[in-house]
Structure 1
């Protein structure tokens, strides 16, 4: 038979101990898992969708602006660089200088092309050589009347290096370069009286020294090499077999990396002609290269400034939204504090909401910025360029803005006492 309750309490009291039912357990604050904290932070976004959408729109416009103001100038810069590169910013020209040898004809060693190809930054090399031959339209023309034209032995990759195009017909290949065929520059074709070649018609003939050559192509004007416009181009092997060409080039064209164009310019004379580098005259890099590098530096400074302004505007918008959210939800804050939520949980809720809001806005801004940049570049017929650093920094910047913008509202919300929050709601 159990003793009455008062007997049990008396027994514990006489022993100097507390009754088990009278003990008060020690309560510890509940720690929220990251998943619970995320779900709690998204409550404000789910319950106030319109306000959240407008807030995310503010940060998305800022991020989209950052991508657009970096992507569109980058696309424009790439198009401008392509135009400046077409002016010869990555090309050099080496000519055998007759004035250094007292007016005597000079030429480069036959292995000069292979020697230049060994220079690291050089991407392509080609050579032409003056054969000192005479070209005439017919055998009835005076042998001394050369019409101011030059007969050059040319290699098959000449057009690629000097950025030239064929106006009609075709250029010399490895096969046609072995036979008596020629390609005329635009000025040479006009002086010899040849219009554009018609497909199917027999090729016209020109007389070089005492050999007839077939005209198989006519070039467009070549701004990077005006001498080619007044030249009659003969295949390298055909010039050797038919005109007695000694296979020693008199002029080299090369394409190199723009960043190392000055270094290539410095070592080129000694590379082409180690015994007499003074007889090699190398053209200076194009003045357009300086303009190109100047535009690159200007665009880089513009990118940084515009990106900073865009992020600042977006951050102010998010901070303003979160402060208003705290003022609107004081009753919710007071109720949660009264139910046992501590200050750390309140801070975590509002900070998570700010980061999630900025992150969603950043993702939307990246999509809008990419679409805007691509569309405008297509409209302007520019190559679309989406800077990867702008995309990654845009998303990282959105999250960082959410953290910075949410710190003050989160601290302010956590400092609200339950009674004050419920009384002012």
Structure 2
């Protein structure tokens, strides 16, 4: 075969231009076909983005319920009828566990709480006086409704912070700046109330307690320095691995005297929700892609039927079967790529708008956006394969004879 009789080899740029011929000559059909795949991809992004945003909002709500909080509590010895002497640095020891992120501790001082020194000791309020440190609030997810919490400076002074229920029982529901601070009688001394806590769902015992600084409890309440409860926030994924070793870490001498709380029911609910949402993502995305792929395949088959004369003329002028096949294959891929990019943009906008309207954090998984474009390319390749092969099989005489 001479060089003159050999078919011309087309460059990638020529193939792209050839694939765009059908799109340029039939813009309305191209737009409608691209719109079909765009709607399919947009649907996929939306059905992934909206549940992902909802799941993230749900995760935040469930995390607020203490899904990663463990509580190690000392239990009474049935023989001595006393609490075990947990080391004072038990919280620091728990913090050395790799996945543990935050720790704090409280201790029951066994002091009596009275609204006034005129009230007999046997008529105390039934509230608990807990020694604590300034790092307690972030660990248990607590906040103040008024006043301020204990600090390194005030922890050594005779000052106290009231839990929500303790404040109600004592009749001190707020601390107002500029007015004389209320006081309570703890043990045998007046303590000034400097703050009131909001309800603490993660630690109900704190709500019924009066909190004082660790050094102040030693000085005025005969506190022995041994904590009774250690709180530990861990990496959620490592919660089950931390729980078995927490007791032995905070009290190596006798771990049996330490009771560690089981993982929150909210954690199980969170993981069930994640599994449910993942199944929903896959199902809805698959349906959306199937609809889009069928639409593109239908468009390309019809395009081959309508352009038989064009195919015949190109074959008569020397176009090879491979060139015709690549033309229609490229046209299908480009059509789906344009639809895919448009669909991803529409899907991101739609999902973000819906999340903003529901006050959810907008979450579009990168895999959804990249997967949308990749899916469009795959759909274009699969949808254009049969029409391209069918077009290439047409002989010039057969194609030109089509009315």
TM score, norm. by length of structure 1: 0.92
Q: Distance in 2 between matches of 1:255 and 1:146?
A: 34
* Aligned counterparts, 1:177-192, within 5 A: 177-192=155-170
Regions of 4+ moved over 6 Å: none
Q: SS of 2:22's equivalent? A: helix
* Alpha-carbon distance change, 390 to 100 in structure 1, aligned in 2, over 3 angstroms: farther
Q: Give structure 2 stretches of 5+ with no counterpart.
A: none
Q: Distance in 2 between matches of 1:238 and 1:103?
A: 26
Q: SS of 1:144's equivalent? A: helix
- Verify: 1:352 aligned to 2:320, yes or no: no
Quote the residue 1:66 is aligned against.
44
Contact 1:95 1:252 in 2 (8 A): yes
* Aligned counterparts, 1:214-293, within 5 A: 214-293=192-271
Aligned pair count reads 403
* Alpha-carbon distance change, 386 to 153 in structure 1, aligned in 2, over 3 angstroms: same
Quote the residue 1:341 is aligned against.
319
Quote the offset at 1:25 in angstroms. Answer: 6.7
Q: Distance in 1 between matches of 2:303 and 2:243?
A: 65
Q: Distance in 2 between matches of 1:117 and 1:25?
A: 79
Quote the offset at 1:156 in angstroms. Answer: 1.0
Q: Distance in 2 between matches of 1:25 and 1:259?
A: 67
Q: Distance in 2 between matches of 1:83 and 1:146?
A: 38
Q: Distance in 2 between matches of 1:385 and 1:100?
A: 53
Q: For 1:41-94, what per-residue CA distance to the aligned partner results, in whole angstroms no more than 9, with x for missing partners?
A: 111112211111110011111111111111111111111112222222111111
Query: 274-283 or 208-217: which moved more?
Result: 208-217
* Aligned counterparts, 1:7-46, within 5 A: 27-46=5-24
Q: SS of 1:341's equivalent? A: coil
- Choose which of 273, 276, 295 in structure 2 pairs with 1:317: 295
Q: Distance in 2 between matches of 1:271 and 1:178?
A: 28
- Choose which of 303, 326, 341 in structure 1 pairs with 2:304: 326
Q: Distance in 2 between matches of 1:253 and 1:145?
A: 31
Q: Distance in 2 between matches of 1:219 and 1:423?
A: 88
Contact 2:77 2:84 in 1 (8 A): no
- Verify: 1:413 aligned to 2:391, yes or no: yes
Query: 61-70 or 283-292: which moved more?
Result: 283-292
| RMSD (Å) for aligned C-alpha atoms | 1.5
- Verify: 1:368 aligned to 2:346, yes or no: yes
Contact 2:166 2:210 in 1 (8 A): yes
Contact 1:206 1:212 in 2 (8 A): yes
- Verify: 1:115 aligned to 2:93, yes or no: yes
Contact 1:100 1:279 in 2 (8 A): no
* Alpha-carbon distance change, 347 to 101 in structure 1, aligned in 2, over 3 angstroms: farther
Contact 1:93 1:254 in 2 (8 A): yes
- Choose which of 73, 79, 103 in structure 2 pairs with 1:125: 103
Q: Distance in 2 between matches of 1:179 and 1:46?
A: 82
Q: Distance in 2 between matches of 1:25 and 1:182?
A: 98
Quote the offset at 1:267 in angstroms. Answer: 0.7
Contact 2:41 2:340 in 1 (8 A): yes
Quote the residue 2:148 is aligned against.
170
Quote the residue 1:9 is aligned against.
none
- CA radius of gyration, larger in: 1
Quote the offset at 1:211 in angstroms. Answer: 2.1
Q: Distance in 2 between matches of 1:199 and 1:117?
A: 36
Contact 1:354 1:406 in 2 (8 A): yes
Contact 1:101 1:279 in 2 (8 A): no
Quote the residue 2:27 is aligned against.
49
Q: For 1:222-268, what per-residue CA distance to the aligned partner results, in whole angstroms no more than 9, with x for missing partners?
A: 11111111100001222223323232211111111222212211111
Contact 2:301 2:387 in 1 (8 A): yes
Q: Distance in 1 between matches of 2:65 and 2:47?
A: 27
Q: SS of 1:424's equivalent? A: coil
Q: Distance in 1 between matches of 2:112 and 2:309?
A: 100
Contact 1:75 1:384 in 2 (8 A): yes
TM score, norm. by length of structure 2: 0.97
Q: For 1:195-245, what per-residue CA distance to the aligned partner results, in whole angstroms no more than 9, with x for missing partners?
A: 322222121111212222111111111111111111000012222233232
Quote the offset at 1:175 in angstroms. Answer: 2.2
Q: For 1:117-153, what per-residue CA distance to the aligned partner results, in whole angstroms no more than 9, with x for missing partners?
A: 0111111110001111122212211122220111101
* Alpha-carbon distance change, 420 to 136 in structure 1, aligned in 2, over 3 angstroms: same
